[in-house]
Amino acid sequence: MGLISDGTTIFDAGVMSAGLGGSMVFIKKLTASSSSSLSFVNGSNGVVLDSTYKEYLFLYKDIHPSVDGPNLQVQFNDSSSNAVTKTSNSFYAYHNEGDSTTQLVYVASGDLTQATGPQPIALDITNQNDSSAVGFLHLFNPSSTTFVKHFIASGTHMHDNIAVLSDHFSGYCNTTSAVAEVVFNMQSGNMDAGDISLYGIA
C-alpha cells in the first residue's frame, strides 16, 4: 500500500515517487583498492545506465595511481562489451609548484580520431603519496540508437612534474548502438585508491 498525501503519492511499492527526491539521483559508488579497473555495467551490481536518464554524471574523487605518470582513462562499450568508436578534443592548463612554467595548450595526445581506444580524462598523474585526481564526466543519452553519444569531462590533479593541471575533454561515441558500459582504468598500473560515483540526472 502506498503513502498518499493530499492526493499526491509520496511512496509506493517501497520507492519514493519520481520528482520528490531531487533531480540528481545517486546510483552507484565504486571504490578502488589496487584495482585494474572500475566498471559501470548497465543491469549489473545495481548499476542503471540506460534510458532511465538522459544524462549520467560520474564524479571521480582522489584517484591515486600505483605507478608514476599514467593517464586516467575511460572506455565506452556497447551492450556486448565492444569498445565503440570515438572522436574527441583535449586541452589543459598547467602551473607548477616551482612557479616556473604556465601553459594553456591543445593536447593532441589527449584526443581521439575515430578510434576505439580509451579516452584519457586526466593526463600524467604523479603517484606521490599525497597526489590524486578529481573531476567529472557527463555522458548524454547513452541509450539513443539515433544520435551519437556526447561526453564532456573536466578535472584537476597533480601532474608528474609536480604541478596543478586542469584537464578538459569532450567528444562523442560515433555509434548508433547504445552505450551500456563505462569502464575507468589507468593507462598503466592500477588505481590504488579513490572512488567513482554514478548519478542519473532526471
At CA 30, angle to CA 120 and CA 190, rounded to 5? 50
Confirm or reject binding of residue 4 to another protein (CB under 8 A): no
Helix/strand/coil (H/E/C) assignment for every residue in 151-188: EEEEEEEEECCCEEEEEEEEEEECCCCCCCEEEEEECC
Among residues 106, 114, 105, 88, the alpha carbon closest in space to that of 170 is found at 88
Contact 12, 2 (CB under 8 A): yes
Confirm or reject binding of residue 159 to another protein (CB under 8 A): no
Q: How far apart are CA 75 and CA 182, in angstroms?
A: 6
SS3 state of residue 124: coil
Confirm or reject binding of residue 46 to another protein (CB under 8 A): no
Rounded to the nearest angstrom, the gap between the alpha carbon of residue 81 and the centroid of all alpha carbons in its chain is 17
Confirm or reject binding of residue 152 to another protein (CB under 8 A): no
Out of 36, 164, 176, 188, name the contact with another protein by CB under 8 A: 164
Contact 79, 180 (CB under 8 A): yes
Confirm or reject binding of residue 3 to another protein (CB under 8 A): yes
Confirm or reject binding of residue 199 to another protein (CB under 8 A): yes
Residues 24-43 that bind another protein (CB under 8 A): 24-26
Nearer to another protein, 104 or 117 (CB): 104
Confirm or reject binding of residue 157 to another protein (CB under 8 A): yes
Q: Which stretch binds another protein (CB under 8 A): 16-24, 38-46, 70-78, 138-146?
A: 16-24
Confirm or reject binding of residue 64 to another protein (CB under 8 A): yes
Q: Which residues bind another protein (CB under 8 A)?
A: 1-3, 11-16, 21-26, 59, 61-62, 64, 93-99, 102-104, 129-135, 154-158, 163-166, 193, 195, 197, 199
